[in-house]
Homo-oligomer: A and B are copies of this chain.
Amino acid sequence: MSEKPGKLGISFSFGAAGGEGGTSKLESSIGELGPSIAEAVEWVKKNASRDESGFGWYNLPDKDPSDVLKAAEWLRGYDSIIHVGIGGSALGNLMLHQALLPFYFNERPAGGAPRFYLADNPDPEKARAIWQRVKGSRAALVGVSKSGATAETMSQFLWFRSKMAAESGGSVDGDALVITDPKGGVFRSFANDTKCRSLEIPPSVGGRYSVLTPCGLVTASALGADIKALLKGAADMRDFLASAAGVEANPALFLAATHLFHERGGRPMTVLMPYANRLETFAEWFAQLWGESVGKEGLGTTPVRALGAIDQHSQVQLYTAGPDDKLYTLINVRNRAEEIELSTVSDSSLESLSYLSGRKLGVMLGFEAQSTAAALVKAGRPVVWIELDKIDAHTVGALVFFYEYVTAITGRLLGINPFDQPGVEQGKRYTYGLMGRDGFGKDAGEAGQYFERIKKLGVTA
């Protein structure tokens, strides 16, 4: 059930497109999509070569990471890092840390690296819990927002800054790093004013495509991830996709077309289910990239984040026996960084478990992935199977670029703009209004009216 991996160590399989005749239907749909796909490929290529707004992610693998490595070296001089950011300014960090750093519980970074705390949600309980752990230590404050206007991020950045300043009895802007737009925005003015450290998110790169900018790279590098290998993986994937002739030799185009086929065929959800804890937040990162890019103009499938084998005990009942309304992508890992061999089961009360004697835990996890895939196929559900030779910086960089490319192409095929997010503005205006910000009084009124509608029918317990 396996084949040799290529240079990138990733194989993609698309042979189960739902039911008996599904695959040939998918193939003929891909044939019809041919010209649109060719147009989408050219669209990305041409705009990326001009570094047009939104397309900057395509060129990130070529950027010299010296400034990132220097900032990371500086960060390693601290005991703790408070990273303030949300959405695209947080998920990439979580994803890289989990995938590339050899610890799980956020409490003991390897090799004396700083402790890392992500202040993403503006929940006062979380923010205060972070401060409880950080106070009294030498702490660096990293603020990430392209616009410098994100209320959740700016409010927490200001609060941590004031707590740090109160503790030190003076300015702590020398302990701050802001990652933001090179020219505009509040964070940029702040950096200019305070002379604090700063790094740039290129103007042509949107938040959810920013993991390979300083936004995702700096803290990962500070904690020990090999970001050169990460960028090399992204570059190698880009080269591979650029040279793959035809849709059937190009897994990104194949996957984009597969998404379109299933969305149009009445499957409104796409499940990403890696079988490795280290990729748990990769699915979360993908969910943001996907949902915010393709969810517009009444189109777009909903990303569903899952984790194997855990969700076999939670979601697989629904996946195999509920409605046939999802495309499933399972990611398996061929060689795991650790393996565990079980000893012989000798207690007589455990005799029925003797099939576990001498078995390997990681091998079992791979069998579970195959079993779930097979059960889904048996139930007529469409399955895409991705197999990684191993999880390392090069492979993760390749996967990041792969999914960014798939997302951009799918958006173009749908006829929407995969680089904007007009649908989040309304909620932001309402919040400004409710916060009493000047100029948003009308929004506060409108928010109140819509909210009252919900409240019309209520029960108090």
Cβ–Cβ contact A321 & B345, under 8 A: no
Residues of A8-51 at the interface with B, using a CB-CB cut-off of 8 Å, are: 8-16, 23, 27
Cβ–Cβ contact A154 & B353, under 8 A: yes
For the complex, is A55 an interface residue (Cβ under 8 Å from B)? no
Cβ–Cβ contact B460 & A4, under 8 A: yes
Cβ–Cβ contact A349 & B159, under 8 A: no
B-chain residues with CB within 8 Å of residue A15 when the two chains form the complex:
453-458
A430 to chain B, nearest CB (A): 3
Nearest chain B residue, comparing its CB with the CB of A87 = B313
Cβ–Cβ contact A186 & B353, under 8 A: yes
Segment of A56-64, A69-77, A187-195, A221-229 engaged in the interface with chain B: A187-195
For the complex, is A180 an interface residue (Cβ under 8 Å from B)? no
**Range class of the A interface residue count:** 35 or more
For the complex, is A242 an interface residue (Cβ under 8 Å from B)? no
Assuming the contacts A158-B350, A370-B430, asked whether A422 and B321 have C-beta atoms less than 8 A apart, the reply is yes
Residues of A276-302 at the interface with B, using a CB-CB cut-off of 8 Å, are: 276-278, 287-288, 291-292, 294-300, 302
B-chain residues with CB within 8 Å of residue A7 when the two chains form the complex:
461
Cβ–Cβ contact B451 & A377, under 8 A: yes
Of the residues B11, B276, B455, contact of A461 by C-beta under 8 Å: B11
Nearest chain B residue, comparing its CB with the CB of A105 = B106
A302 to chain B, nearest CB (A): 6
Nearest chain B residue, comparing its CB with the CB of A133 = B105
The answer for the CA separation of A307 and B268 in the assembled complex, in Å, is 21
B-chain residues with CB within 8 Å of residue A427 when the two chains form the complex:
312, 316, 320, 368, 371-372, 374-375
Of the residues B117, B193, B237, B398, contact of A347 by C-beta under 8 Å: B193
Closest 3 CB pairs of A and B: A87-B313, A295-B318, A107-B107
Can you list 9 contacts pairing A with B, beta carbon distance less than 8 Å? A1-B455, A86-B310, A158-B342, A189-B350, A248-B457, A251-B459, A300-B323, A370-B447, A383-B454
